[in-house]
């Protein structure tokens, strides 16, 4: 007959740390509720699984580098009438598009919520135990350039392969240079039909020749990105503009930001 004194050691050897921590408390609860052995074991297993899930989500969130607080719960769809909330929720709640390496593309001017929506989808996917990695486009390109100089670009791509979804934010700010264009194209080609990319850009496809150095590369990049994709146009008034107006209303002064944007930025402390 196995003595309960050895149970903590056995659970530790089985790497069931949560069960080892809570088995006595749960046993008392089982006695109070007159659980049978199977019910007691099921409750312990649920506790173990829930704790593992919580640790996994915390780990995935930390490694993702996603902007903190930019979730669907904090996004105001009233300011983006062109975006269907159900479509965004579907991208969070159904992960089939990730399994099929589909891309999501957000286009629109600066300050309309593209980054927030991309990050919100990322946070939602993490809740479903899908690994996500966020990069500001220019920072990603710099890392890839450094990896290429060190002859480690393939290794860099291999490390990215563990993330089912990569978020590339503000693609339009990548400078048009041979080195930057080539590493960015290589990443797009590498992820093609193998992993999803969420891209935000203030430049439509017609202006992507400002990012890539020649027409052939531009067309090839667009072709790979859009082959399996969901494309969303975000049309709204800039959040920064709304914030500037609100701040000045509180102070009793409303600048004509539309006709004098620099004045509005100055009053709002935006640079």
Residue labelled with tokens 């891209």 = 199
Q: At what angle do helices 137-149 and 178-191 cross, to 10 degrees?
A: 100
Give the distance from CA 246 to its chain's centroid: 29
Q: Strand locations in 64-220, DSSP E?
A: 103-107, 132-136, 165-169, 196-201
Round to whole Å and give the CA distance between 82 and 90.
16
**How many residues in the chain?**
271
Report d(CA 134, CA 166) in Å as an integer.
6
pLDDT truncated to tens, each residue of the chain (271 aa)?
A: 456 778 888 888 888 998 888 888 888 999 999 999 999 999 999 999 999 999 999 999 999 999 999 999 999 999 888 899 999 999 999 999 999 999 999 999 988 999 999 999 999 999 999 999 999 999 999 999 999 999 999 999 999 999 999 999 999 888 778 888 999 999 999 999 999 999 999 999 999 998 998 999 999 999 999 999 999 999 866 655 555 545 554 455 544 544 444 444 333 333 3
**238 closest CA partner among 109, 71, 115, 119:** 109
Per-residue burial over 63-82, b if 16 or more Cβ lie within 10 Å, else e, is ebebbeebbbeebeeeebee
Identify the burial level of 96 via C-beta atoms within 10 angstroms of its C-beta, where 0-12 means exposed, 13-18 middle and 19 or more buried. Answer: exposed
Q: What is the pLDDT of residues 137-161, one digit of tens each?
A: 999 999 999 999 999 999 999 999 9
Structure tokens at 25: 């408390």
DSSP state of 206: G
Q: What is the pLDDT of residues 209-230, one digit of tens each?
A: 989 989 999 999 999 999 999 9
């Amino acid at each position: 007959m196995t003595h309960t004194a050895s149970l903590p050691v056995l659970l530790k050897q089985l790497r069931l740390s949560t069960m080892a921590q809570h088995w006595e408390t749960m046993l008392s609860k089982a006695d109070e509720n007159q659980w049978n052995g199977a019910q007691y074991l099921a409750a312990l297993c649920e506790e173990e699984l829930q704790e593992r899930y919580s640790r996994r989500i915390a780990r995935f969130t930390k490694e993702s580098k996603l902007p903190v607080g930019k979730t669907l719960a904090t996004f105001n769809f009233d300011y983006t009438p062109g975006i269907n909330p159900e479509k965004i929720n579907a991208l969070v709640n159904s992960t089939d598009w990730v399994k099929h390496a589909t891309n999501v593309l957000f286009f629109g001017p600066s300050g309309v919520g593209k980054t927030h929506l991309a990050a919100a989808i990322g946070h939602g996917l993490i809740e479903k135990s899908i690994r996500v990695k966020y990069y500001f486009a220019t920072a990603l390109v710099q890392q890839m350039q450094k990896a290429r100089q060190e002859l480690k670009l393939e290794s860099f791509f291999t490390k990215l392969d563990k993330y089912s979804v990569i978020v590339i934010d503000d693609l339009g700010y990548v400078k048009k240079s041979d080195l930057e264009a080539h590493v960015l194209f290589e990443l797009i080609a590498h992820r093609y039909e193998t992993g999803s990319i969420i891209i935000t850009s203030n430049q439509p496809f017609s202006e992507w020749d400002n990012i890539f150095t020649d027409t052939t590369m531009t067309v090839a990049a667009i072709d790979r990105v859009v082959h399996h994709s969901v494309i969303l146009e975000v049309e709204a008034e800039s959040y920064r503009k709304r914030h500037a107006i609100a701040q000045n209303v509180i102070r009793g002064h409303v600048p004509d930001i539309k006709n004098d944007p620099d004045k509005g930025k100055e009053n709002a402390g935006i640079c």
